[in-house]
Amino acid sequence: MHGPGDVRVEQRDDPEITAPTDAVIRLAATCVCGSDLWPYRGIEPVRRPSPMGHEYAGIVEEAGREVRSVKPGDFVIGSFMASDGTCEICQAGYQSRCARVEPVGANGAQAEYLRVPLADGTLVATHGQPGPALIPSLLAASDVLGTGWFGAVAADVRPGKTVAVVGDGAVGLLAVLAARELGAERIIAMSRHEARQKLALEFGATDIVTERGDEGVSRVKEMTGGYGAHSVIEAVGTQESMMQAIRSTRPGGHVGYVGVAHDVQLPGDELFFAEVHLLGGPAPVRRFLPDLISRIEARSIDPGKVFDLTLPLDQAADGYRAMDERRAIKTLLLP
């Protein structure tokens, strides 16, 4: 990305092993993330031409001499945050805040090859080579599925509970799927877009709320006897979406926030009297990968349905444009 709205596909040197804990993978698929649109729209500064992409699935080409968990030829998926898997934070299940954390996106996963640091703590191999039909869903596990899942876990989604999801992008839609898999009785998807509403219902939503802001809050409370939802997942990252999430939650309820926050400020007095639990941040995707891969391989979930546009890698700029204009939920790129 050279600047707002300026995405170019350029030739770069192939990545190489630079540390004994690295692995280099040949990508089978990559994609454009909703968070990539923040710099694309000029909301985050682009100070220099930067490689883009942090979601990836592919085959290990080379592994450093200290890598033990994966080997050349393995098909792997990894988190957008590299983690060592051994520090106290990783052991507690928050690998995205590992003491040695490295953002994989710094290396640019919208590419043919990718160097993954801390491979043992970051990559998970599938059970054999997946067929082409499974690759989109496995790719989704690298970020948007894992992030939606963390949002649901952080919101304490449980059987018999009512869940509301603020945001109808890929993460919000997969948070709906996660809530269903975790046993929620009622799932309210907040969306104003027909195609996304349809996919939300397919993923397990029981209700659609088209209103947003205070009107959306009022609608959720009407649907819950005036109390609000037990669990609310915030999957946007704006001031409006965060306050909508908190206000839609009943006292004692839980908010899981996974939208990348931009200029979000919480009013202390309102937060004090809301009496809700807040947990969120960059999803520790690595914690969930083994379970998610098994569910995908068993075909009990199909998160790859969030990809509604597939393009060759050299047309990445068109994929950004389609998502920016909301003509696509999520763009799959094939190297």
Span 294-312, pLDDT tens digits: 999 999 999 999 999 999 9
pLDDT in tens, 286-297: 999 999 999 999
For residue 22, the model assigns a pLDDT of: 98
pLDDT in tens, 57-108: 999 999 999 999 999 999 999 999 999 999 999 999 999 999 999 999 999 9
CA distance 251 to 248: 10
DSSP letter (8 states) at residue 313: G
Residues 262 and 43 sit within 8 Å (Cβ to Cβ): yes
CA distance 235 to 143: 13
For residue 194, the model assigns a pLDDT of: 95
DSSP letter (8 states) at residue 6: B
- Of 42, 9, 11, whose CA–CA distance to 324 is shortest? 42
Mean pLDDT of 145-161: 98
For residue 107, the model assigns a pLDDT of: 94
Mean pLDDT of 19-31: 98
CA distance 313 to 319: 9
For residue 73, the model assigns a pLDDT of: 98
pLDDT in tens, 110-133: 999 999 999 999 999 999 999 999
- Average pLDDT, rounded, for the chain: 97
Mean pLDDT of 261-278: 95
Residues 332 and 31 sit within 8 Å (Cβ to Cβ): yes
Radius of gyration of the chain (CA): 19
For residue 152, the model assigns a pLDDT of: 98
pTM: 0.97
pLDDT class of 10 with cuts at 50, 70, 90: very high
pLDDT class of 222 with cuts at 50, 70, 90: very high
pLDDT class of 178 with cuts at 50, 70, 90: very high
What are the CA-CA distances from residue 243 to residues 107, 216, 280 (Å)? Answer: 34, 11, 14
CA distance 216 to 190: 8
DSSP letter (8 states) at residue 133: G
For residue 308, the model assigns a pLDDT of: 97
In single-letter form, the type of residue at position 19 comes to A
For residue 202, the model assigns a pLDDT of: 98
